[in-house]
């Protein structure tokens, strides 16, 4: 299969490209902006490890001409759309940037897919679309009446655009609601990354709230299993949505304790109030993905965090700043 992976130089994208190449039989093209949201050297190192095995196009999703040309020349059978401006708090500070990249960028990809006959589109959505959902665990059938951050709003808009293009043009679209993905190569702004770096260096960590907020942490290899399952999914509704979570909700207090154990050092805590836009709990019902995508997460937080710490220390030993 001839596949375009947007954001293929990043955290989830580079792992996905590796898996596609390892499985054989696929031609893979990466479209990535290599922006400076975090150290671009990390993304270039990810791509260097794929040298000669995947084509790399550098550019923005908002560049309509570039996206169109890429599709015309690539004639892709499928798109795995992972590129986005990510993060709840930055989206509150820069909502227009998120609207441009996440909404216009997704529109450009869907339009190019329509024009070139690309019939399968996998979209990376987010558990943040559930907002302050009082029903636990979160199910794909739950009504979503209110998002609470610009980031979440752009992801919901992406899901709705996918629905439009399925209904109007017959493109099979699958939206995957990721629940707090972590592991080697993850973004340095995420909690596990920040806490590991600061605890390792003996610096204080910012702890928002009383530590009872909880997240459904999902290890990267499990997420990639779900992405590949969605890529190969050809039955059922032409437009569908699946939760991809680790089915292991972990409180902030327990997460900090797990990182302390992996690093071998106690954290210094800078206690702060709750942050606007953050949801108190995420918890995934993955029964639908289990039935239809054969999605079965296996890596616990106690197993996954030490793997991240090992990668973090390796990157530092090679002189790459993970921040």
Q: Active-site residue numbers?
A: 151
Q: Give how far the C-alpha of residue 90 lies from the chain's centroid of Cα atoms, to the nearest Å.
A: 16
Give the CA-trace dihedral at 80, 86, 88, 94, to 10 degrees. -130
User: 301 Cβ partners below 8 Å, 6+ apart?
Assistant: 217, 246, 248, 250, 254, 255, 258
Instruction: Name residue, tokens 């960028």.
Output: 105
Q: How many residues does the chain have?
A: 323
Instruction: Name residue, tokens 């798109």.
Output: 79
Measured at the CA of 13, the angle between CA 4 and CA 287, to 5 degrees, comes to 100
Residue 175: in which H helix or E strand, if any? strand 172-178
Query: Cα separation of 178 and 159, whole Å?
Result: 13
User: Measuring CA to CA, how many Å separate 117 from each of 31, 80, 174, 228, 301?
Assistant: 19, 15, 17, 21, 41
């Amino acid at each position: 299969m001839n596949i375009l992976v947007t954001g293929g130089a990043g955290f989830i994208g580079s792992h996905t490209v590796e898996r596609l190449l390892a499985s054989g039989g696929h031609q893979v093209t990466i479209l990535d902006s290599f922006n400076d949201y975090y150290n671009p050297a990390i993304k270039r190192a990810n791509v260097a490890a794929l040298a000669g095995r995947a084509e790399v196009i550098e550019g923005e999703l908002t560049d309509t001409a570039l996206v169109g040309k890429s599709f015309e020349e690539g004639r892709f059978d499928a798109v795995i759309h992972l590129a986005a401006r990510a993060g709840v708090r930055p989206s509150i500070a820069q909502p227009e940037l998120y609207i441009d990249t996440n909404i216009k960028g997704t529109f450009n990809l869907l339009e190019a897919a329509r024009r070139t006959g690309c019939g399968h589109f996998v979209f990376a959505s987010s558990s943040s679309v559930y907002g302050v959902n009082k029903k636990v665990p979160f199910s794909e059938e739950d009504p979503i009446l209110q998002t609470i951050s610009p980031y979440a709003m752009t992801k919901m808009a992406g899901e709705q655009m996918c629905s439009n293009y399925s209904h109007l043009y017959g493109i099979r679209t699958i939206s995957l609601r990721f629940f707090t993905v972590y592991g080697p190569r993850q973004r340095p702004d995420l909690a596990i990354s920040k806490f590991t770096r600061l605890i390792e260096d003996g610096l204080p960590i910012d702890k928002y709230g009383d530590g009872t907020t909880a997240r459904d942490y999902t290890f990267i290899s499990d997420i990639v299993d779900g992405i590949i399952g969605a890529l190969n999914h050809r039955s059922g509704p032409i437009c569908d949505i699946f939760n991809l979570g680790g089915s292991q909700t972990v409180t902030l207090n327990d997460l900090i304790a797990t990182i302390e154990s992996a690093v071998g050092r106690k954290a210094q805590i800078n206690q702060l109030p709750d942050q606007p836009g953050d949801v108190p709990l995420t918890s995934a019902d993955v029964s639908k993905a289990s039935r239809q995508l054969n999605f079965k997460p296996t890596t616990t937080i106690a197993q996954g965090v030490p793997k991240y710490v090992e990668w973090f220390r390796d990157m530092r030993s090679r002189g790459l700043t993970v921040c």
